[in-house]
Structure formats: C-alpha cells, structure tokens
Amino acid sequence: MGVARLKKAELYYHKSVYGEIAAALQNSGSCQIISTTEENKKRPSDVEALLSKTEDRLADVRYLTRTLTPHYVDPVPSLDRMLGERPDVTMTELEELASQTDLKAVCERTRAIEHETGEVRTKLSEARMNISLLAALDFFPYPLSVITEGTRTLSGLAGTLRAENVSGLKAAIGDLSQYKDDTELVVAPYDPKDKAAEVYAAVIFSRKLESEIREICTKQGLSFIEVPSVLKGTTDEEREKFTASIAELEARESELASQLADTAQENVPTVQKLSDYYNSLAGRYGETLNSDETASTMLTKFWLPADKADGIRQTIEAISPDVELTLSDPAPEDEPPSLLNNGNTVRPFNILTELYSSPTYRGIDPTPLLAPFFWIFFGMCLGDAGYAIVVFGTILYVFRKYKKIAPGVKDFIRLFLFCSVSTFIYGVISGSFFGNFIDSFVPVLVPLKNALMLVDPMTNPMQVLGISLLLGVIHLMFGLLVAAYDKLRHGEFIDAIGNDISWFLLIVGLCLLGTAMMGMLPAHFFDIGRAMAIAGAVIIFIYAGKGEPNIFKKVINGFLALYGSTSYLGDILSYSRLLALGFGSAVIGMVINLLGGLASDIPYVGWLIAIVVIIGGHIFSIAINILGSFVHPLRLQYVEFFGKFYTGGGEAFTPLTLSQEYVNLKA
C-alpha cells in the first residue's frame, strides 16, 4: 500500500558488456535511469556508432510513419488495437526483420511518389487557372498568340476595367486610330447599367504604338492581366487542349495516390514494428549511461523498487562476473520518483491520483484513502441498477474477448467494473432500474422493487440530500484527520492541532449540536457538540494569532480564521451534487421510458419505435451519465478532499522499457 520503497543503485561494469547490461536493465522494465547531461554520457565508440545508426533509421521510420500512415487502412478496428489486439513480437524477431528490410528503398520510393504528386498538382492548378482565364477571354475572336507573342507588326494586351470606363477607353483609342487603322479594342459583353462591374477587354495595336497604348490604357483605368505564354490558339482550341491535359493529370494523380496507398498497405505494418524496435534501441543506448569512470569501467545509476533488487542482481551477475552493484536507501537530499504500490483492489484507482499529480516519494499516497469514497460517490451519481448491469456485462465481455489488454488500460476499465457494483447497489436501494422501467412496463415486479428500496429520492429528496451532505462531512473530516496524521508524522504537533484538529472539533461539534437540536440525536449530544465546537473555535482563534505580537492583530486574525468556516459550508454543500446527479440519471431514464411509452401508442409500428427509443435513449443516457458520474466525484476528491491534505508534486516512476506503441514487444 502506498508509495513503494525504492533503492538507489550504482552499477559498475566493464565496457565490453555495456550492450548486454543496457538490454538487461531495459528488459526488466523496473529501472528508472538517473539521467545525466548529454556531455557526461560517454559511450563506448561501438555503441556510439550503433546509436547514431539507430537514430538515422528512426528518422526514416518517422518519415514513413508520417507519410504513409494517413493512407494506410488498418484491417483491425482501432478499438481492437486499443484493447491490445496487436502483433506479439520479440526483440530478436525484430532484429531479424530490421536486417531484412530495406528501409532506405521504401523511403526512396515514397519520396519519388510524393515528389511526382507535388509536380502533378502544380501542373493541375496551372491548367485549372488557365481554363478559368480562357473562360474570361472567350470574347477575344483571334488566336491568343496575338496577345502572348504578337505578330511581326502587331502586338496585344488584355486587362480588366470598370464598365463606366469602357467608353473613355474606346474614345481614347479611337483618337489614336484616326492616324493608325491597325488598332482595335475588343470588349467582352457587359451591362452598361452596372457601372462598377469589372469588364474584360483586349487591345490589338501596332508594335510602334506600344508605349502610347499602354499609357492610354493605364490612364483609363485598365489593369493588365498576364496571359501565360503557353496560350497561343483561340480560346476554344486552348480549352480543348487543357481539358484533355487536366483529365490526363487527374488520372496520373489518382494513380500516384493508389501507388502511395499500396506502398502504405505493404509497408506500414513493418514500419510500425521497426518504429518500436528502433525507439527501444534509441531509449536503451540514449538513456542508460551516466559517466565513464575509468578507461574501461562504466557506471550507471538508477532507481529501482526494493523488492525487484534481488532479481536485477541475479540477471546482471549472470551477464558477467565483473560487475559491482551497490544498493542504498535514498539519501535525505535525494528526490526519488514515486511508484504507487497498491494491491489489486486499490490499483485501478491509482489513475485518479496520477491524473491529479503523483505524490512525492516521502508523501502520503492518497489512493487507498479516496478509493472507497470515489466508489460510493460514483455509485450514487450513476445510481441505476439497470445501467450497472449493462456496464458490468460490457466490461466482462471485453475482458473475455480481449486477452492482451495493456495493464494500464485494463486497470482503467476495471475501475468502472468496480464502480458498476456500487452503482448496482445504490440503484437497488433507490429503486432505479433503467429509470422507472419497472413501474412503466413490468408492474408485476413493483412490489419486489419497493421491498428493496431504502431511500426514495423521487418522493423524499431531503432524505438523500441529508445522506449526501453527511457523506460530505465524513469525507472532509477524514481529510482533516489525514492532514493531522501527516503533520504529526513529521513532528508538527502544534500545526496539526491548530490547523486540522481544531476544525475537526468545530465542524463535528456543530453537526452534533445541530442534529441534537433537531431531535435526531439524544439530548446529551447537544452538550458534547457544544463543548467540541467551542474548543475547536477557541483553538482556531488562538492559533491564527500565533506569532503576532500586536494584540489587536491577534484578535483580527482570529476572527478572520473563524470566518474561514464559510468555506467549509461551501465544501459540504458541494456534496449536494450527489443527489442532483443521481436524480439526473433517474429522471433522464424516466423521460426515455415515457417517450417510449408514448411511441408505443402509434399504430402498427409503435412497438418498434418504442424499442428503438428505449434502447437508444438508455445507451445515450448511460454514456452521458457515466461522464458526469466520473467527473463530479473526481472533483469532490480533487477540490474538497485533496484541498485538506494533498498537493502531490512528486515525479512519477517511469522505468526504462521497450517501446510498445504499435506492437506487444518482449525481450
């Protein structure tokens, strides 16, 4: 239970066995290498060469993964992959695969395809631009070469101008043509009423007049357009040519795409395996060195769980007799990482702590403390026996079907398996089975349901509200006691009393006092409660003024501290969400049954619609309510509970392991 004890290991060995030692540490999966700066990592030259070769291959693998994966259609559904349906391979097999695979050739082929695809796309977009330009120039009756090349004596230009300027341009060119007959203005059809419309126009003129014509055109507001020099024939001829070339290019593009897809289909599984292989090697050779002690001896320092030490020692001593492994307890100045070490029952809840922040090595592991509360709170929020059965059944099916689920994923799923039990229990005692399914559709079971009911949120919500708030008080007070314990452990006796015990006394006292006053507890609890509350308040008052020489400031600090009790009120009321969310899922279920009931009144197809509505609706309800039932109890742990004693701030234990991104990789 709690944070596992770690040992600091210093391992001295001869250079010649470096590779085997590094592999052994990685394969054990329980050593976190204490890292050092890159300059201090002095690897034997053969290892250095191996590492740089590995990194070179990794670059290829990454390129291929990035380029090919989007075109790869995995025959196995991604959900199955997530649940562990991945190839089982060993490092030895992968070494063989790596030596047989010519990654460079695949890269070259892929690059060639990519390169040509790029070229084809550029040509395509040019051709498409030309087609749209041709559409605009359709009014031009002559071959476009007049504009793009000109003849011996003539030249031309094209451009756009506002419709209102057309007559001006016409007049200006007309003035010129009085002298020279070989100038012509061609204008695309336009609507003279729409003055702001952009109109395409082209001018053909004698080469001698080029500069004057350009000047006139600019003055009249014509903005020139560049007609690409490939356009030579009439617009119709050119269009035909480009349409044909577009068809050709598109065909080539799709051919290249299918080539890329084929390459992907053929190579991605191998590339993925090699990705894990090379990443494992890069991790192994990149991380495992600390320093080079002497010319031929090397040193690696790492953390390992105390209970794994013997195993590691045996493995290492089997490699070479010339090794020296010294194990020591963490020194006070060390900040070891923390490894949560909880049994099967609590371990699924580890993720809740890790999502917040890992504890420090010497801190408290809050997982076993929050687990029972989270379990109860989740049950109260989802709170439906029918939903619980669905969740439980689905998870059992998943566990039966998928045997290779990764341990982390499996624990997370198991968390919901556990919580479905509390959901079932609360569903039974609050009489919720797929909402009010029993009342609506199977009245024969109503007496059974009612016999098992202990609380009834529908007709007596105040009762459940009371239970929710009571659980809140218990949760918070438990948090205070843990905080006090943690302080006492470190010898901070006064802080434990002043900060935590005092509030515990005040709040428990007030609760006793209140409940006794309402007659829910025997009268003598009133006196006990009052004594506790007063004692708590006095301690809080005095503790807050501690270390303050000025008597007025002492008093002010004391009152301010007591004012802090409002935050406890807020914390306690926050637990009313347990009622609200449980209510929410029950009523959503009720609404679905109601809609199903209404649908069943439709003639002939009613029963079918009702079934669809009820099944679909409840699936939706389960999904949305699981999200809420996970998030809100988690918040109660993080904000209300952890706020009393836990800050985390540790570093999680991350051992050097084989990379398992795509395959289940064994040593």
Partner 1 sequence: MELLGLSLALFGAALAAALAGIGSAIGIGVAGGAAAGVMTEDPNKFGSCLILQALPGTQGIYGLLIAFFVLNKIGLLGGAGAVALNWNQGLQIFASCLPIALVGWYSAIWQGRTSAASIQMIAKKPEAMGKAIILPAMVETYAVLALLTSILMLMGVQVG
Which residues have CB under 8 Å from 315's CB, separation 6+? 24, 28
Buried b (16+ CB within 10 A) or exposed e, 368-404: bbbbebbbbbbbbbbbbbbbbbebbeebeeeeeebee
Q: Rounded to the nearest whole angstrom, what is the least distance from the CB of residue 437 to partner 1 in the complex?
A: 16
Closest CB to partner 1 among residues 143, 597:
597
Minimum Å gap between C-beta 78 and partner 1 is 10
For 396, half-sphere exposure in the C-beta direction (CA atoms, 13 angstrom radius) is: 8
Shortest distance in whole angstroms from residue 422 CB to partner 1: 20
Residue 301: φ, ψ to 5°: -110, 140
Q: How far apart are CB 154 and partner 1 at their closest, in Å? A: 52
Cβ proximity to partner 1: between 7 and 577 the closer is 577
**CA separation for the pair 28, 9 (Å, rounded):** 14
CB of 589 to partner 1, least distance (A): 11
Nearer to partner 1, 356 or 526 (CB): 356
Tell me the pairing of strands 297-305 and 6-14: antiparallel
Contact (CB, 8 A) for 466 and 441: no
State the minimum distance, in angstroms, from the CB of residue 440 to partner 1.
10
In Å, how far from its chain's centre is CA 444? 47
Give the shortest CB-594-to-partner 1 separation in angstroms.
Answer: 6
Distance of closest approach, residue 234 Cβ to partner 1, in angstroms = 44
Rounded to a whole number of angstroms, the minimum distance from the CB of residue 410 to partner 1 is 17
* Distance from the Cα of residue 154 to its chain's centroid: 67
Interface positions with partner 1 (CB under 8 A) = 352, 354-356, 461-462, 465, 573-574, 576-577, 579-581, 583-584, 587-588, 590-591, 594, 597-598, 624, 627-628, 631-632, 634-635, 638-639
Cβ atoms of residues 526 and 517 within 8 Å? yes
CB 77 within 8 A of CB 213: no
Asked if 363 and 650 touch (Cβ cutoff 8 Å), the reply is yes
3-state helix, strand and coil shares in percent for the chain, rounded to the nearest 5: 65, 10, 25
The alpha-helical segments, DSSP class H, found in 41-90 are 45-68, 78-82
Strand locations in 243-363 (E)? 291-292, 297-305, 324-328
- Measured from the CB atom, is 590 or 622 closer to partner 1? 590
β-partners of residue 303 are 8, 32
And the tokens for 328?
């020591």
Neighbouring C-alpha atoms within 13 Å toward the C-beta of 643: 16
Q: State the DSSP H helix or E strand holding residue 204, giving kind and residue range, or none if neither.
A: strand 198-206
Closest CB to partner 1 among residues 69, 345: 69
CB of 241 vs partner 1, minimal distance in Å: 38
What minimum distance in Å lies between the beta carbon of 442 and partner 1? 17
- 577 versus 644: smaller Cβ distance to partner 1: 577
3-state secondary structure of 600: coil
- What is the DSSP pairing of strand 198-206 with strand 154-162? antiparallel
Question: CA-CA distance, 304 to 359, in Å (whole number)?
Answer: 17
- Of 465 and 561, which CB lies nearer to partner 1 in the complex structure? 465
